[in-house]
Structure 1
Amino acid sequence: MTKEISIIGVPMDLGQTRRGVDMGPSAIRYARLSERLEKLGYTVYDEGDIRVGLRERATADTETNLKNLSAVAEGNDKLSQKINEITSLGRFPLVLGGDHSIAIGTLAGVAKRSENLGVIWYDAHGDLNTAETSPSGNIHGMPLAVSLGMGHPVLTNIGGYTPKIKPENIVIIGARSLDEGERELIKEKGIKVYTMHEIDRMGMTAVMEETITYLKERTDGVHLSLDLDGLDPEDAPGVGTPVVGGISYRESHLAMEMLSEANIVTSAEFVEINPILDEHNKTARVAVALISSLLGDTLL
């Protein structure tokens, strides 16, 4: 892994309807992210925040019922361009959200320089909805589908190409809340999923060993997209869509440590931290701890 990291904040809260997640990047920075990474020997470049348009309320596109479609697309297009700049310099892009709709722009940027990008989607949700299957019209529930080339063309064509990833190169870890349309798509596309049932039954060590082996065999780099609601709300309370019965803090550290040892992650994003719903910035501090483990921090 390169020893140069670029941090990009994306204060996007337009992919859903609950305000506050736009303050996630500031909360993570306040939890001393840069200092932690510099102590690990990295040269850290904080690129600031992508400028995202402000909205007083969610507005649905009259034809598709997608909320804030043009604003979400605009923010993701800017993010995609910024990631292109960073990867051209050989730096590791570390994106801070913001809601999970920002993964559309992240993947559009990082997949451009990969022939066969792998994706680990660490999340309570599948984020595989489209306008036709989404119960809400919230785009933060659609970024994985969009990156597969499914959805509104304004979103699927961000970065100037589609699709960004292949279904056989995806591993979802921690799923415990899937809509019916997402279940059908997972089966249709053969997407590899470790639900909480598998994690409980197999243990996180086996889940990560299988994930790493699976992705090493078929990809030339792996993007980690970690939604803090993948963790149990007891450990990460400051998220907009908490789902009880999630991955523990310690299991998540183990997962990050194993990814660090495998040295397969080439980009990452940490999303959906809502400081308004948090307890003394606990969730942001958890995010910083997990980022540190991913990037090589160890006890000894």
Structure 2
Amino acid sequence: MNQKKVALIGVPMDLGADRRGVDMGPSAMRYAGVMARLTRLGFHVDDVGDLVVPRPSGVAGQDLNLKHLPEVVEVNRNLAATVSEKVREGYIPLVLGGDHSIAIGTIAGVAQHYRNLGVLWFDAHGDLNTAETSPSGNIHGMPLAVSLGFGHDDLVRIGGFAPKVRPENVVIIGARDLDPGERELIKRIGLRVFTMHEIDRLGMSRVMEEALAIVTNGTDGVHLSLDLDAVDPHDAPGVGTPVVGGLTYRESHLAMEMLAEAGVLVSAEVVEVNPILDVENRTAKVAVALIGSAFGEKLL
């Protein structure tokens, strides 16, 4: 990370999750001091504010297999353009969500400049569904599939090209709740997934060593997609789809610290903080602390 400029981009999106509250995530992380934390680390921080998220015209849109599709597409197109502009200006874009559907736009914007992008995807879930496999129709369960080129064309073609990333350059860490269609796709494309079983057996240090070796092999930068439900609900209770048995607070910090030491981070999004479901903004505080570690914060 030889750049010392970070662009904060808020995306108060809840339409991909179809559940209220997560739209307040950017405000919660700002309140938890994300800008001050990055400034203390020596970064020039440009907070560009929040993108406008339109209110849907119907309850969930016309297609219940792709809820709120037009609105999700519009926001992600705008996000991709904003992210691309900030990368062009020499900033590391840090996108504050919002639900995980915003990863579609972040990656689309970054991939216009890093055509061999590696991706570290921290999540309890795979986010590899399509309209045909999704049990809910919620697009926040589809962004990784979309970035890999699978899904509705309006989503896949955001930014004007597809796929944005290749499966050999992507690693999922912390998975413990995968749908049948996601498991099939993982096996079919050979995607590397470190489940909680492997993290328990190998330890986070070895998992990160192997994951970093994968996402830096032939790539020109690494994108971090951090869903707070990767962390155990004991430490991060304010998420929309909590799954017990997740990463501990220290495992999460070690992962971010090792990512920072690698010096390969070019962009990031932090998503699924839901203050309505939180306790005294605890999850937003965890998110900001992990952002600090990912951007190089050390004790000594």
Task: Answer whether TM exceeds 0.5 for this pair.
Answer: yes
Alpha-carbon distance change, 56 to 252 in structure 1, aligned in 2, over 3 angstroms = farther
- Give the letter for the 2:150 counterpart: M
Paired with 1:60 and 1:248, the residues of 2 have a C-alpha distance of 37
Paired with 2:263 and 2:135, the residues of 1 have a C-alpha distance of 38
Task: Map 1:106-255; keep pairs closer than 5 Å.
Answer: 106-255=106-255
- Matched residue, 2:26: 25
- 1:36 and 2:1 correspond: no
- Give the letter for the 1:213 counterpart: A
Paired with 2:229 and 2:158, the residues of 1 have a C-alpha distance of 26
Q: 1:61-119: per-residue Cα shift (whole Å, max 9, x none)?
A: 34x63100000000000000000110000110000000000000001000111121000
SS, match of residue 229 in structure 2: helix
Q: 1:110-153: per-residue Cα shift (whole Å, max 9, x none)?
A: 01111210001100000000000000100000001111111111
Identity between Structure 1 and Structure 2 (%)? 65
Alpha-carbon distance change, 57 to 291 in structure 1, aligned in 2, over 3 angstroms = farther
Paired with 1:87 and 1:233, the residues of 2 have a C-alpha distance of 33
Task: Map 1:284-295; keep pairs closer than 5 Å.
Answer: 284-295=284-295
- Matched residue, 1:73: 73
Task: Map 1:262-281; keep pairs closer than 5 Å.
Answer: 262-281=262-281
5+ residue gaps, structure 1: none
5+ residue gaps, structure 2: none
Could you tell me how far 1:217 is from its partner in structure 2? 2.0
RMSD of aligned C-alpha atoms?
A: 1.0
Tell me if structure 2 keeps the 8 A contact 1:17–1:57.
no
- Matched residue, 2:7: 6
Tell me if structure 2 keeps the 8 A contact 1:31–1:288.
yes
Could you tell me how far 1:58 is from its partner in structure 2? 3.9
- Matched residue, 2:97: 97
Could you tell me how far 1:56 is from its partner in structure 2? 8.0
TM (norm. structure 1) is: 0.98
Tell me if structure 2 keeps the 8 A contact 1:128–1:142.
yes
Paired with 1:261 and 1:137, the residues of 2 have a C-alpha distance of 38
Paired with 1:138 and 1:176, the residues of 2 have a C-alpha distance of 19
Alpha-carbon distance change, 236 to 57 in structure 1, aligned in 2, over 3 angstroms = farther
Could you tell me how far 1:55 is from its partner in structure 2? 3.5
Tell me if structure 1 keeps the 8 A contact 2:260–2:293.
yes
Paired with 1:58 and 1:294, the residues of 2 have a C-alpha distance of 38
